[in-house]
Amino acid sequence: MTLPEQAILIRQPWVDRILEPNECFRKTWEIRSFATQKRGKFAVAVVGEKHILGEVELTDCFQVAEKVDGCWCPVSDEAPFLFDPDNAIKCGFDMETMPDYFASKSKLFAWVLRNARRYDQPIKWSKKDGAVFFANVESDKSKKDKKTDKKHKKDKTKSVKKNEKP
């Protein structure tokens, strides 16, 4: 199986909601306090864990709310509003169950997700320090393969040098 090149890092229980097999209950909006220009297929990893659980396509991003005088408001009359009842299933929460970490934010964006798929088995991986939202994917197996390739290449280089004439 070929893994996507990058993973999107998401907290639980949202990962399980995104990878929900029943489309009627699947979370299709990942809400963030910033926009992203990234598009395409991403592995899905749980923040703080060392496994990739599935993959998803990130297809769009748009602002769904802004804070005005301490209250969440629609961006415009035409734009989808995060707290419309029809959107609660898309983001996995409503005004009453909104996660606390959004309280200090002034704008919220929906990262639109499609074609979510949970892998049959979690895939071990480790992200590099510093990555917060997206991380390059390199499974533990591919790291071992790269180390073996480097060692083999190094050994070949040594043997060529030994056989060179002065």
**pLDDT by residue (tens digit) across 104-117?**
999 999 999 999 99
> If you count DSSP H runs as helices and E runs as strands, how many of each does the chain have, helices first?
3, 7
What six digits make up the tokens of 121? 């088995």
What digits encode the pLDDT tens for the residues 32-72? 999 999 999 999 999 889 899 999 999 999 999 999 999 99
Domains assigned to the chain: 6-163 (2.30.130.30)
How sure is the predictor about 133, in pLDDT bands with cuts at 50, 70 and 90?
Answer: low
pTM > 0.85: yes or no: no
Contact indicator for 62, 49 with CB cutoff of 8 Å? no
Cα(166)–Cα(164) distance, rounded to whole angstroms? 6
Contact 125, 45 (CB under 8 A): yes
User: What is the average pLDDT score of the chain?
Assistant: 83
At residue 146, the pLDDT reads 53
Q: Given this model, what pLDDT does residue 164 score?
A: 41
Q: Are 16 and 25 in contact (CB under 8 A)?
A: no
CA distance 93 to 87: 9
**What does the pLDDT average to over 76-85?**
91
